[in-house]
Structures are given as structure tokens and as C-alpha cells.
Amino acid sequence: MKYGIVAFPSKKVQDFANSYRKRYDPHYALITPHMTVKGVFEADENEIKHIAENVAKVVAEHKPFTLKTSKVSSFAPVTNAIYFKVEPTEELISLHKSLNAIGFNDEENYAFVPHITIAQKLNASEHDDIYPQLKMIGAEFEEQIDRLHLLYQLEDGSWTVYETFRLSGAE
């Protein structure tokens, strides 16, 4: 089964992202707007219980972090995805590294670029048409994130919460 670890922004940020995702993101109905902290990995029922225990330990050592979006950006030419750029704070980078140290029997395919996707799977001309417009919208939000969510993928492709963890490290 496929799993991932994400942080969900506030409803305000989700609603703003969804106003674009419903038109430009084919995954709109499969998962709510989120920032991936640990990308997709596979595990069976026994492995995920052990992984969840380790995630709980890591999260207990980290305090809540600030999720600050600063602008709309794109991964082009690597992929035609458009996203809200999340500032990579020390706390967020440290949390990401600690989670990756758990050992998920996977390899990271990409450098960690914190973001909230608002458009993906666009062809080149769609991307070139939409991206300049979206760059002008302004996507400045700042909020505290105090929970991470371990998600799993259902047979229909949608994602749902397996377990939620509170960031509770010493202040």
C-alpha cells in the first residue's frame, strides 16, 4: 500500500488553493491541498505499524513550525506543476531530515522543495499560458502547523488519513 506524510494548511489556504486546483489539478478530488513532508513510500500492514511508531517518536521531538507561503512558482521544465512556494525554515528542513532517517525502504527521487501544488499534469502550452497569470495572484500566507498526517492511498486513487501526529517537541 502507498503512504505519505503531509501537513495540511488552514481551511483559508486550502480554499484559496482549491479555487485554482479545481480547474488545473486532476488530483483535486483525490486529496486536499497539502504540503508533502515525506513523499510516497510503500509498506505492508506490519511495516506501517512500525513506521507509525517511529514517526510518533520523531514528531514528539519537533515543535510546531511556521508554514509561510511567499509566491507562486513552477517546477518547469522538469515538470509542468505550479505551486505555492513554502519557505524552507530550519524547523521544517530538520523535521524532513528526521523523518527520512526512519528508513522507509525507499529513496528520495527529488530534492525537498516545500510547496502546495495548485496545478499539475499541464501540457507545455497550458503551462505557458496559465503560469504568468497565476504568478500575479499573490500567495502570501503565514500560519503555525502543529500536526502531521500519515496518509494512505485507497484503491480509487484518493488519499485518507491513517494517523495524525501532534508536533510536541520542547518549546
Contact between residue 160 and residue 150 where contact means Cβ atoms under 8 Å apart: no
As beta bridge partners, residue 141 has 69
Instruction: Output b/e per residue, 13-49; b: 16+ Cβ within 10 A.
Output: bbebbbebbeebbeebeebebbbbbbbebebeeeebe
User: Which of these is catalytic: 62, 115, 127, 149?
Assistant: 115
115 is catalytic: yes
pLDDT-based confidence at 105, cuts 50/70/90?
Answer: low
Task: Write down the pTM of the prediction.
Answer: 0.93
User: Which of these is catalytic: 34, 96, 127, 149?
Assistant: 34
pLDDT-based confidence at 171, cuts 50/70/90?
Answer: very low
The tens digit of pLDDT for each residue in 107-124 reads: 666 789 999 999 999 999
- The CA distance from 136 to 132, in Å, is 7
34 is catalytic: yes
The domains of the chain are located at 2-166
Superfamily of domain 2-166: Cyclic phosphodiesterase (3.90.1140.10)
